Amino acid sequence: MKKETLLEIILGTIGGLVFAIGMCMSLIPEWNLFTTGIVIAIVGFIILLCIIPIYRKSRPKKEPKPINWGFVLAWIIGVVGALIMGFGMSKTMIDGATQTEMITGIITGVIGLIICVLDYPVYSYLKKNK
């Protein structure tokens, strides 16, 4: 293993943990550490940004390939499906949710899940037909 790869792993782990702890500190209201959490999250993000010059130094530049629009569309469909599913699941986890909110959330979550599942067949079809 190269020295640069090990450094990327170490910085990624430390930066990710510091960023996550900062986000937890700022998003959990019982802790009352919003400002401190934001500062710690920014420090973690800066540590993660330090990986970029190391990565660029250790990897040679490649010639740009043509854009695979099927891949781009698959990503867009996947992100939209995940957002819809997350919205639906968050509707079901509201404290004191009514029965209507629960049913709406479950139906929306299942629709988002179906969109995510159908993402691969759409990509396969686009790849086959170009």
The Cα–Cα gap between 16 and 29 comes to 21
**More confidently predicted of 123 and 84:** 84
Model pLDDT for residues 20-61, shown as the tens digit of each residue: 999 999 988 888 999 999 999 999 999 999 999 988 888 888
Residue 65's pLDDT is 86
Q: Which of 5, 116, 126, 37 is nearest to 73 (CA)?
A: 126
The Cα–Cα gap between 127 and 57 comes to 33
Residues 6 or more apart from 2 whose CB is under 8 A from it? 58
Mean pLDDT of the chain: 91
Polymer length in residues for the chain: 130
